[in-house]
């Protein structure tokens, strides 16, 4: 079904994933799924547990994520946004399949320092996640096998795999737990529309290690499944908070 809006149909929580593998892991947990295509963006309406959700496939990188999020918020009665998927760890003590939950998200590759605007968390191109959502997910994510990292993360239009890239990010954002390619764009659109958001991702690779692109390919599906499972377990409390 194409180009149909659901504005005003009731409270919905949106869940956005960049890649089909990430979205498929969540759709496997949903019931009564109906696909809609609006202006080329793919949305899946259904129920996750007892909650009405819209699962959105954004595509990779920030422009695609911005377009999909804007289309989502213009066409559905969204009360909150969760970004799921995978990310690259930025700390040497992290392990693949650790979980990261955002408190704040920033663009690491936006640079207008020539005009005196600093790069870093708390600056112009950084966005705070909803503290209530962070609290809900943090309480739900209990894992005895892998660590849970709660804190800031960064986004950019590159897959980070070289030491100089990691060094630059950690120079500008020393507290960042992970790096990925969509969350800051999603957060920026949510901030514009005054919609609360949170990001929960599972580490598919550790960016500070060599050959992390091989780890990404190996662990993508497993990491995506873990991220989707945490959302499933937290969705009812998030909806109650919306």
How many CB atoms neighbour CB 227 within 10 A?
30
Is residue 217 among the annotated active site residues? no
Structure tokens at 38: 């609006």
Judge residue 215's burial from the number of C-beta atoms within 10 Å of its C-beta, 0-12 exposed, 13-18 middle, 19 or more buried: buried
Give yes or no: 22 in active site: yes
Could you tell me the maximum CA-CA distance found in the chain, to the nearest angstrom?
Answer: 51
Which residue of the set 22, 104, 172, 182 is catalytic? 22
Q: Which among 172, 205, 210, 211 is annotated as catalytic?
A: 205
Residue 217: both structure tokens together: 């390919």
How many angstroms separate the CA atoms of 11 and 7, rounded?
Answer: 10
Measure the CA–CA gap between 54 and 34, rounded to whole angstroms.
Answer: 9
Helix (H, G, I), strand (E, B) or coil at 228: helix
What is the three-class DSSP state of 129?
A: coil
CA angle centred on 18, ends 10 and 40, rounded to 5°: 65
What does the alpha-carbon distance between residue 4 and residue 16 come to, in Å, rounded to a whole number?
A: 19
Q: What ranges in the chain are assigned the alpha helix state H?
A: 20-27, 62-75, 131-140, 163-172, 183-193, 212-241
Active-site positions read: 22, 205
């Amino acid at each position: 079904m194409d180009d149909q809006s659901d504005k005003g149909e009731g409270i919905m929580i949106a869940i956005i994933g960049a890649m089909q593998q990430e979205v498929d892991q969540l759709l496997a947990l949903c019931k009564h799924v109906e696909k809609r295509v609006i202006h080329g963006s793919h949305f899946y309406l259904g129920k996750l547990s007892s909650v009405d959700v819209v699962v959105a496939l954004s595509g990779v990188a920030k422009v695609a994520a911005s377009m999909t999020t804007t289309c989502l918020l213009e066409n559905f009665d969204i009360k909150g946004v969760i970004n799921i998927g995978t990310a690259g760890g930025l700390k040497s003590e992290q392990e693949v399949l650790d979980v990261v939950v955002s408190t704040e998200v920033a663009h690491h590759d936006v640079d207008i320092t020539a005009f005196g605007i600093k790069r870093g968390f708390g600056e112009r191109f950084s966005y705070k996640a909803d503290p209530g959502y962070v609290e809900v997910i943090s309480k739900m994510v209990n894992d005895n096998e892998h660590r849970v990292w709660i804190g800031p993360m960064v986004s950019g239009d590159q897959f980070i795999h070289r030491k100089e890239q990691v060094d630059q990010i950690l120079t500008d954002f020393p507290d960042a737990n992970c790096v990925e390619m969509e969350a800051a764009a999603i957060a920026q659109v949510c901030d514009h529309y005054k919609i609360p958001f949170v990001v929960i991702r599972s580490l598919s690779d550790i960016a500070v290690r060599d050959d992390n692109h091989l780890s990404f390919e190996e662990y993508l599906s497993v990491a995506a499944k873990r991220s989707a499972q945490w959302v499933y377990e937290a969705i009812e409390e998030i909806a109650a908070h919306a």
